[in-house]
Amino acid sequence: MGKKKRRRDYPVIENVEMQKIAAEGKSFAKVNEKAVFVPFTVPGDVVDVKITESRSSFMEGKAIRFEKYSDMRIEPKCEHFATCGGCKWQMIPYEKQLEAKQQQVLDNFQRLGNFDFPAHEPILGSQEQYYYRNKLEFTFSKRIWVTDYSRELDFKDLNMNGLGFHMPGMFDRILNIENCYLQASPSNEIRLAIREYAWKNDLTFYDQREQTGFLRNLIIRTASTGDLMVILVVGEPRMDLLNPMLDYIKETFPQITSLMYAINEKLNTIITDLPIYTYHGNSFLMEEMEGVKFKVGPVSFYQTNSPQAYEMYKLAREYADLNGDELVYDLYTGTGTIANFIARKAKKVVGVEYVPEAIDDARVNSQINGISNTVFYAGDLAKVLNEDFVVENGRPDVIITDPPRAGMHENVVQQMIKAAPQKIVYISCNPATQARDITLMKDFYKVAMVQPVDMFPQTHHVENIVLLERL
């Protein structure tokens, strides 16, 4: 164990007027030539800031008192706002959220990028600003975070069993969610009915400190086809408790097309390494785009905002500008969604991804759609993508790449340059690493298009698509 860091007592700075929305969803102000970043504030708020961290070039702080609320603010929709870790931007009108995301892309490209780029296209807003997620995972806990301070609480009499989201920064406390605006009906109804059933039947809620208890997690997945998957994760193999509970869920919600469960006796909450049993219905759900079907298993990745994912894939396809003769690489292909979506417009698509189960799904997804011009490889791109790979699979005309937040390994970027496709479509959920990677390519590719896309309304997250053309 390292030495415990001594918490320094920093000052409170009064009357700070917040100026601009900055990274990570915080707002920014300049105080005595030094930047200060404060979460849960918006430009125009005047706040007293308790500094929590001070570095040579910037400070971090917490708003401890609002002297004035900004005119920009709107009333947050959700009763759990600011306590819950999600949807931190509800107090910002949607158009302003979009402006801020667009600015975030621009700032990253200007600050971290060393390349020329055209003015970006206006950000593509999400049709749905609430209820846009197709997947939510809730946690059962015997220690809820108590938010009701309006009366004297006798903790002894309080039901501390709850079902909801982890409190930010706390491993053992959850916020008992009464209503969540992220996933469409019947997500809330299912969660509330399950909690009620558990309370009534005295089932134990998981104790994150002692690592004991029956009920652990609840995952709800919805699909644009109407399919509905519910996965209940329990901590003990108690079929005498589980069977009646699953029967109750099945009977109460006949619209569930896939009712599954897993028994997780491990310390961590990961279920990808566990058998997941089908209690009722299918072991997967079906998604669909333009008649192309995607089979999504209980632990398969699928973009969480389906309509907006469709918009993004269409844009990627438009940028790739395929006429049926091209060899396309789809890097970080996940379950091969982009590869299969574009396959009919290409000669051949080669998908690479390091999760072998995802590659299995990708192959199944080609098969069920009668797509025969795709090949998929499982492996780490930093190793798989080399000259032999290009010789074996052919020199790509187009590369579509969609890496995780960390961006691409430098080897991957170098191999892409060597493979020398005419076009690269770079989809990213982190404009900072995207700007870094594009800088490495600037002598070989010019940035032809920049299109931010909003996949996650009410949060600061932004997705960005860039078209690179070979010089």
Query: Shortest gap between Cβ of 120 and ligand SAH (angstroms)?
Result: 21
Residue nearest to ligand SAH (CB): 334
Stretch that binds ligand SAH, among 171-179, 241-249, 347-355, 413-421 (CB under 6 A): 347-355
Minimum CB–partner distance for residue 19 and ligand SAH (Å) = 34
Cβ distance to ligand SAH smaller for residue 125 or 334: 334
* 175 vs 154: CA distance, rounded Å: 18
Cβ 236 to ligand SAH, closest distance in Å?
31
How many whole angstroms separate alpha carbon 283 and alpha carbon 297?
A: 7
Q: Which is nearer to ligand SAH, 236 or 357 (CB)?
A: 357
In the numeric block, the tokens 């969660």 are attached to: 191
Contacts of 153 (CB under 8 A, 6+ apart): 146
Interacting span for ligand SAH (CB under 6 A) from 55-63, 148-156, 332-340, 365-373 = 332-340
d(CA 145, CA 141): 10
Neighbours of 275 (CB within 10 A): 8
Structure tokens belonging to residue 95:
């158009």
Q: List the x/- string, 349-378, binding to ligand SAH by CB under 6 A.
A: ----xxx--x--------------------
Closest distance of CB 385 from ligand SAH, Å: 9
Q: Which two tokens stand for residue 262?
A: 């897993």
At a CB cut-off of 8 Å and minimum separation 6, what does 130 contact?
Answer: 77, 181, 182, 457, 458
Among 186, 297, 298, 334, binds ligand SAH (CB under 6 A): 334
Contact 328, 397 (CB under 8 A): yes
Residue 276 or 378 having the CB closest to ligand SAH: 378
User: Is 84 an active-site residue?
Assistant: no
* Smallest gap from residue 305 Cβ to ligand SAH (A): 11
Residues 380-409 that bind ligand SAH (CB under 6 A): 380-382, 402, 404
Please name the residue ranges forming H helices in 394-471. 410-419, 431-440
3-state secondary structure of 150: coil
Q: What angle do CA 228, 233, 236 make, to 5 degrees?
A: 150
Q: Which of 78, 84, 180, 429 is catalytic?
A: 429
The CA–CA distances, whole Å, from 452 to 99, 115, 129, 312 equal 10, 18, 16, 10
Region near ligand SAH per CB under 6 A, out of 220-228, 233-241, 245-253, 333-341:
333-341
Instruction: Specify the residue, 353 or 397, whose C-beta has the smaller distance to ligand SAH.
Output: 353
Does 338 engage in binding with ligand SAH (CB under 6 A)?
Answer: yes
> Interface residues for ligand SAH in 90-119 (CB under 6 A)?
none
Q: Which is nearer to ligand SAH, 186 or 396 (CB)?
A: 396
Q: If binding is defined by CB under 6 A, does position 437 make contact with ligand SAH?
A: no
Residue 138 or 332 having the CB closest to ligand SAH: 332
CB 141 to ligand SAH: min, Å: 28
Binding mask 285-304 for ligand SAH (x = CB under 6 A): ----------------x-x-
Minimum CB distance to ligand SAH, residue 304 (Å): 10
Query: From its phi and psi, is residue 157 left (phi > 0), alpha (psi between -120 and 50) or beta?
Result: alpha
Contact residues for 400 (Cβ-Cβ < 8 A; gap 6+): 316, 320, 328, 329, 330, 331, 338, 342, 424, 425, 427
Distance (Å, whole) CA 369 – CA 355: 22
Q: List, by residue number, the catalytic residues.
A: 429
Binding site for ligand SAH (CB under 6 A): 301, 303, 332-334, 337-338, 353-355, 358, 380-382, 402, 404
